[in-house]
Amino acid sequence: MTHAVMCEDLWKTYQLHRPLGVKTLLLGADTPRDTRFAREWALAEVGFQVPRGRSFGVIGPNGSGKTTLLSILLSTVQEDRGRVSLSGRVAPLLELGAGFHGDLTGRENVFLFGSILGVRLAEIRRRFDNIADFSELEGAIEQPLRTYSAGMIARLGFSTIIHSPADILLIDEVLAVGDASFQAKCHRALREFRARGGTLIIVSHNMKEVTEVCDEGICLDLGRVVDAGPMAGVAARYQERMAAADRAQVRGGALGKP
C-alpha cells in the first residue's frame, strides 16, 4: 500500500455535553446552555491522503478541528461517519509530560511511557541506552522527574517517542522542544524517521516550521478542509486570510467603541 494515512469523508459531531450531575438531575439545568461551540460539525467531509515517508501539515485557526482530527487518527475519539485507514503503528507525541509521573525517575518514566505507547518492555530495554543518549540527560536519568526542568521533560518525551517502533507519528504543537541545538537534533531525527519510511502528521501554528518540515498539508476552518496542496502555498494563503481578517477587525475596532 502506498498510502500511510487515508481519510475519506470524515464527519464528527460533539454533542453539547455537560457532565450530568445529581444537581442538574434534581434541579434541572438552570444555567443557559453553553452555545459557544454549538456548531453542527466538529469535522465535516474531511478527506486526505498521505503517502508513506511524507510529512503532512494540518493548520487552521483555534477550534477548527485539528486536534479532533488527530484524536480520530489516534482512535482516542471515534468518528461518526467516514473511513480512516492507517497502515502501520501510530504513536502520538503527547503534550509535555502527559503520561509522566514526577515521583518516578527518568528511567522508570521511559519504561512507563513506552509501555503506554504500546512498546514491549523487552523492546524498551533494548533501546533504552539510545533513548537516554538522545535525551542528553546523562546522570539525571536516575533522578526523580520532579527535579527536571520543562525542557528536560520534553527532551525525554521526545526521545522516547522517536525511538518507539512507530510508522506514523502524530505531533500536536510540540516541536518546540528544548534549545536551538536540541531542536535541530529533533528535526534531524524526524528526517531520519521519514527516510526510514516513517510518516509524520503535524499540527502547528508555527507557519515557518510547518513549511520547512511538511511537503503537503491542509487548512481546516470550522471543521472543513478549506485549502489543500503543497504546504508552502497552503500556509501562505492561510496567513493572507488571517492578515485580511485582522485588518477587518482593526477597522471594526476589536475592542468595541469606548
Partner 1 sequence: MFDARQTLELLYLLVKKELKVRYKNKFLGYVWALVNPFAFAFVYWIAFKFIMRLEIVNYSLYLITGMFPWVWLSAGMVAGTRSFVVSASLIKKAPLPRAILPLGNVAQEMVHFAFALPVIIAFLWFAGEIRPSASWVWQVPLLLALQLAFVYPLALGFALANVYVRDIEYLVGIGLSLLFFATPMVYPITMVPEAYRRWFELNPLHALMQSWRSVFLQSTLDFNHMAYAAACAAVTGVIAWLLYRKLAPRVGELV
Residues that bind partner 1 (CB under 8 A): 14, 17, 19-22, 71, 74-78, 89-90, 92, 94-95, 98-99, 101, 103-104, 108, 111-112, 115-121
- Which CB sits closer to partner 1, 6 or 74? 74
Is the CB of residue 198 less than 8 Å from the CB of residue 167? yes
3 state SS of 129: helix
**C-alpha dihedral over 91, 189, 99, 70, to 10 degrees?**
-40
- Which CB sits closer to partner 1, 121 or 245? 121
- Residue count (the chain): 258
- Which CB sits closer to partner 1, 71 or 135? 71
- Which CB sits closer to partner 1, 59 or 72? 72
User: How crowded is residue 81: how many other Cβ atoms within 10 Å of its Cβ?
Assistant: 13
Encoded amino acid at 251, one letter: R
Is 257 exposed, middle or buried (CB count within 10 Å of its CB: 0-12, 13-18, 19+)?
Answer: exposed
User: How crowded is residue 29: how many other Cβ atoms within 10 Å of its Cβ?
Assistant: 12
Supply the minimum distance, in Å, between the C-beta of residue 242 and partner 1: 27
- Which CB sits closer to partner 1, 117 or 131? 117
Supply the minimum distance, in Å, between the C-beta of residue 101 and partner 1: 6
Residue 104 to residues 144, 173, 198, Cα–Cα distance (Å): 5, 25, 31
Supply the minimum distance, in Å, between the C-beta of residue 154 and partner 1: 15
Supply the minimum distance, in Å, between the C-beta of residue 108 and partner 1: 7
Supply the minimum distance, in Å, between the C-beta of residue 149 and partner 1: 20
Supply the minimum distance, in Å, between the C-beta of residue 145 and partner 1: 11
Show the CA angle centred on residue 189, arms to residues 187 and 195, nearest 5°.
Answer: 105
Cell of 212: 520547512
To which residue does cell 478549506 refer? 226
Is the CB of residue 45 less than 8 Å from the CB of residue 220? no
3 state SS of 32: coil
- Which CB sits closer to partner 1, 115 or 206? 115
Supply the minimum distance, in Å, between the C-beta of residue 125 and partner 1: 11
- Which CB sits closer to partner 1, 116 or 222? 116
